[in-house]
């Protein structure tokens, strides 16, 4: 009885903690909105994100394995029976029944009834979509919903895309010197910190305390910083390698813009 009471208390506490974090986010976001109204659309998204994508209750190693097996079978349109799950893991059917019950209680599975009625819950599917990222939509047939599962070719997680390497930061571009490379004034470039760079790669150089984005060419005693704007005919800038007020700070790994 004591263990059951403790579990109920933990469950209530996690919900309360979630509500507190949501309210904290609203207050923090509203304060940012007062300072910068342009932030408000992101504020609304942040609040919806908290409400819709509440962290799910963690699973034990056994529960993860069973869920993974069921998920794999469902992806192949072949939902398993509990007897098949037991056979796969070499466990008694009673043990599998208990594991599946935990997965239902924790919100990962629902039972639509019948011999093979196990399905992933909407809450868990939302959790998967969130972790996978933004859907990349391919060709869309006439009359179909644009985000229908068959139209989604892949998912891109923007956060993971720009943070694969430790220390990656974003730099806002100022000027039109790299427009032929698709890097426009006001764009953001993701920069991987490094003091060395491959010849001809796009990188960031710090000159007299100001960052500039250019194609970098390493020569014997100097560094060439080449622009990419044919129409403006910007000249290539050469800097002696021994110059103390110039240093390579990173390699550009991505670029995006806000519309």
Residues acting as catalytic residues: 177, 214
d(CA 126, CA 148): 14
Q: Is the distance from CB of 229 to CB of 179 less than 8 angstroms?
A: yes
Distance, first Cα to last Cα, the chain? 57
Name the one residue in this structure whose structure tokens are 């972790």.
131
* C-alpha dist (Å) from residue 220 to 49, 199, 245: 52, 12, 18
Distances (CA, A) of 181 to 169, 176, 185: 20, 10, 12
Beta-carbon neighbour count of residue 72 at 10 Å?
Answer: 11
């Amino acid at each position: 009885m004591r263990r059951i009471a403790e579990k109920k208390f933990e469950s209530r506490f996690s919900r309360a903690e979630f509500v507190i974090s949501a309210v904290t986010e609203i207050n923090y976001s509203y304060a940012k909105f007062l300072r910068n109204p342009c932030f408000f659309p992101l504020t609304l998204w942040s609040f919806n994100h908290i409400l819709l994508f509440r962290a799910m209750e963690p699973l034990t190693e056994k529960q993860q394995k069973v869920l993974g097996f069921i998920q794999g079978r469902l992806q192949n349109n072949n939902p398993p029976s509990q007897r098949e799950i037991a056979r796969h893991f070499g466990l008694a059917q009673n043990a599998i029944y208990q594991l599946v019950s935990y997965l239902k209680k924790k919100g990962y599975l629902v039972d639509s009834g019948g011999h093979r009625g196990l399905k992933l819950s909407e809450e868990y599917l939302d959790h998967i979509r969130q972790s996978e990222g933004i859907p990349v939509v391919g060709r869309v047939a006439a009359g179909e919903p644009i985000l229908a599962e068959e139209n989604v070719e892949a998912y891109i997680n923007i956060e993971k895309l720009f943070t694969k390497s430790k220390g990656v930061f974003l730099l806002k571009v100022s000027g039109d010197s790299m427009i032929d490379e698709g890097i426009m004034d006001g764009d953001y470039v993701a920069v991987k910190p490094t003091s060395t760079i491959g010849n001809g790669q796009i990188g960031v150089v710090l000159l007299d305390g100001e960052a500039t984005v250019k194609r970098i060419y390493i020569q014997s005693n100097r560094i060439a910083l080449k622009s990419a704007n044919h129409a403006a005919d910007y000249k290539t800038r050469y800097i002696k390698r021994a110059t103390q007020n110039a240093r390579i700070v990173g390699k550009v790994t991505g670029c995006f813009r806000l519309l």
